[in-house]
Amino acid sequence: MAEADELDTAGVAGHLLWAAQLRLDGQLAPGVRVFRRGSATAVASPALSGRDRIAVAGTTEDALVLVRDEILPTTGPGYRPFGDAELIARLVCGIPALVPADGPAFLWMETTAPPPDVPEGVAWLDSRGEKEAAALFDTCFPDSYAQPGRPGTHRWAGAYDPDGGGELLAVAGDAWSGAGCGFMAGVVTRPEARGRGLGAAVSRFVVDALVRDYGRAALMVDADNSAAVAAYRRAGMSGRVFGAAAVRAWGSAEPS
According to the model, what pLDDT value does residue 4 have?
Answer: 57
CA separation, residue 161 to residues 122, 168, 196, 198, 209 (Å): 11, 6, 11, 9, 22
Is 127 domain-assigned? yes
Q: Please tell me the distance from the alpha carbon of residue 232 to that of residue 159, in angstroms, as a whole number.
A: 17
Q: Are residues 6 and 92 in the same domain?
A: yes
Q: Are residues 126 and 176 in the same domain?
A: yes
Q: Are residues 6 and 100 in the same domain?
A: yes
Is 110 domain-assigned? no
pLDDT band at 253 (very low <50, low <70, confident <90, very high): very low
Is 248 domain-assigned? no
Is 255 domain-assigned? no
Across residues 10-27, what is the average pLDDT?
Answer: 89
Residue 116 scores a pLDDT above 80: yes
Q: Are residues 10 and 100 in the same domain?
A: yes
According to the model, what pLDDT value does residue 252 have?
Answer: 43
According to the model, what pLDDT value does residue 250 have?
Answer: 45
Q: What is the DSSP string of 79-148?
A: -EEEEEHHHHHHHHHH-TTEEEPPS--EEEEEESS--S---SSEEE--HHHHHHHHHHHHHH-TT-S--T
Percentage of residues in the chain with pLDDT exceeding 70? 93
Which of 62-66's residues contact partners 24+ apart within 8 Å by CB, and which partners? 62/37, 62/38, 63/37, 63/39, 63/87, 63/91, 64/90, 64/91, 64/94, 64/95, 65/1, 65/37, 65/40, 66/1, 66/35, 66/36, 66/37, 66/40, 66/42
Q: Please tell me the distance from the alpha carbon of residue 156 to that of residue 113, in angstroms, as a whole number.
A: 21
Is 7 domain-assigned? yes
Residue 228 scores a pLDDT above 90: yes
Q: How many domains does the chain have?
A: 2
Q: Which of 42, 72, 104 is the last residue of a domain?
A: 104
- This prediction's pTM: 0.92
Q: Compute how many other C-beta atoms are within 10 angstroms of the C-beta atom of residue 84.
A: 18
Sign of the torsion angle spanned by Cα atoms 157, 150, 83, 225: negative
Q: How do residues 28-58 score in pLDDT, each as one tens digit?
A: 999 999 999 999 999 999 999 999 999 999 9
According to the model, what pLDDT value does residue 117 have?
Answer: 87
Three-state secondary structure call for residue 176: coil
Q: Are residues 88 and 131 in the same domain?
A: no
- Average pLDDT value for the chain: 92
